[in-house]
Structure 1
Amino acid sequence: MATEEAGYWVPDWPVPYGVRSAITVRSGGVSQGAYASLNLGDHVGDAPEAVARNRERLRAMLELPGEPRWLQQEHGTGVATLTAASARSLEADG
């Protein structure tokens, strides 16, 4: 059973030590209109300042140590492999 926090779900599944997971939901953000409320996509037409504030809120909620790699999700079979040299923004499905 997952637990829900404002803006994300924490799945209850076994993971290795040091690994955390969260699934974002639409509540808990500042975006308006069609993008309400916790839109994290900077490529969909939402106000850039709203997306930046939403991302900042998520980082704070999850107590992340730094800026995550943001994925521009494309529904398909592409999976991104992250390295230290990976682009800051990636296109893939996972």
Structure 2
Amino acid sequence: MKYFHFGKKLLAADSWLHLYDLTLALYESAAEAAYLTGNFAETSDLVEIVLQQAKTVLDKMKVYEIKIKNYQSQNKPLVAIKIP
């Protein structure tokens, strides 16, 4: 997780505009790593950032998968299937 935190700090404030692919990949990977380490709150925060910034439905697909797994891991299956 330290590498992802460091990578996010290195990004410029406008990285979603000028380095979209890199920023998307970094946030997706950070969200997945947070999920895999059991940090559910950070996972949710990162997923929401991607969902707000992503340009297309395809760009959102990976984080929706992470979001569903995150809820399933917390034994919240009904919340997981309500994702739009």
Length-normalised TM-score, structure 2:
0.35
The structure with the greater share of residues assigned to helix is: 2
Q: Which has the higher relative contact order, 1 or 2, with Cα contacts under 8 A spaced 6 or more apart?
A: 2
The structure with the greater share of residues assigned to strand is: 1
